Amino acid sequence: MSGVVTVLSLGGTIFMTQDAAGQRAAPDDDAGARLLAAALGGTPIASRALANTSSSDIRPHHLRDALEAARRAVDEGAPGVVLTHGTDTLEESAFLLDRYWDREEPLVVTGAMRPASELGADGPANLRDAVRTARAPSARGLGVLVVLDGHAHRAGEVAKVSSRSVAAFASAPSGPLAIVEAQDLRLLHRPLPRPAPLPGAPAAALPRVPLLTAGMDEDLSLLDHLPPGERIGLVVAGVGMGHVSPAAMPRLRRLIDEGTPVVVATRIPSGGTSTHHYAYPGSEVDLLESGAVMAGLLPPAKSRLLLQALLADGAGRERIRAAFADYAS
């Protein structure tokens, strides 16, 4: 395609430099221009810095700005858009953006595990590959993609699996979607259809939805101390196929009876939740019969974001259940 790829930046390690001792990486406003020059050479792009912050400080309004800028870029002729982002919450931002991305052109999120000043920095190669992906014919219609370490991942499946390695991201259950090559993606499997995008854009501030982790003898008594406004919805990171201690069930039933949506994911990295394997107290069958929603293949953090986005759009119980059914395992 003949258009110029737009590169938007929210910062992250990819645009950080270290001190003289090679430690204490921090945002560097000058690193962006150097990185773009090193990664792309003479490749024409349009670039715009939206922010330069760590990903732990990314807020919904940052993603709203990025989404609006990306839509505007493709509507003006860009074949695709790249967004740089810190890796800590990259998978969450990519997922939330994907739930709203309603264009055929790809929106590609990338970052780096090593600061721009470090020997062997991975940012230039990741940025080059992200721009290639944004132009790739095979990337059209695939929504938001995450590109790092030579691979492209779908936003709903990718997760950060290492806090240190440059091979920090993986996708479950099918592995990466593609290898990034110079002219196109080499698809490794046929992608499943995307869920229908949500309307509009993320709210500037999402509803407060606690994410609690279930474990041995965990009765979720913390719920007793949360003011009503702090629990408009609840996500539980359950054990196994989405199970909780029987001691937690009375509190979960009470919340559900009061009208609070409760989504149960699993803290296990792969396999997702079930709907029918077990029927003891605290099992998935018990939870479903009590009115909870099972998250399927969505991990806890992404489940929380989807529930927040749905609640911000005024979704009721049946619409919430239907949205999570798209991720059933």
Which residues pair with residue 293 across a beta bridge? 263
Rounded distance between C-alpha atoms, residue 229 and residue 200, angstroms: 25
Rounded distance between C-alpha atoms, residue 207 and residue 109, angstroms: 24
DSSP conformational letter for 144: E
Of 6, 13, 17, 133, the active-site residue reads 13
Which residues pair with residue 159 across a beta bridge? 170
Find out whether 67 and 27 touch, Cβ atoms under 8 Å: no
Would you call 13 a catalytic residue per the annotation?
A: yes
Of 39, 99, 98, 46, nearest to 77 by C-alpha is 46
The one-letter amino acid at 23:
Q
Distance of CA 243 to the CA centre of its chain: 24
Which residues pair with residue 185 across a beta bridge? 180
**Which residues are known to be catalytic?**
13
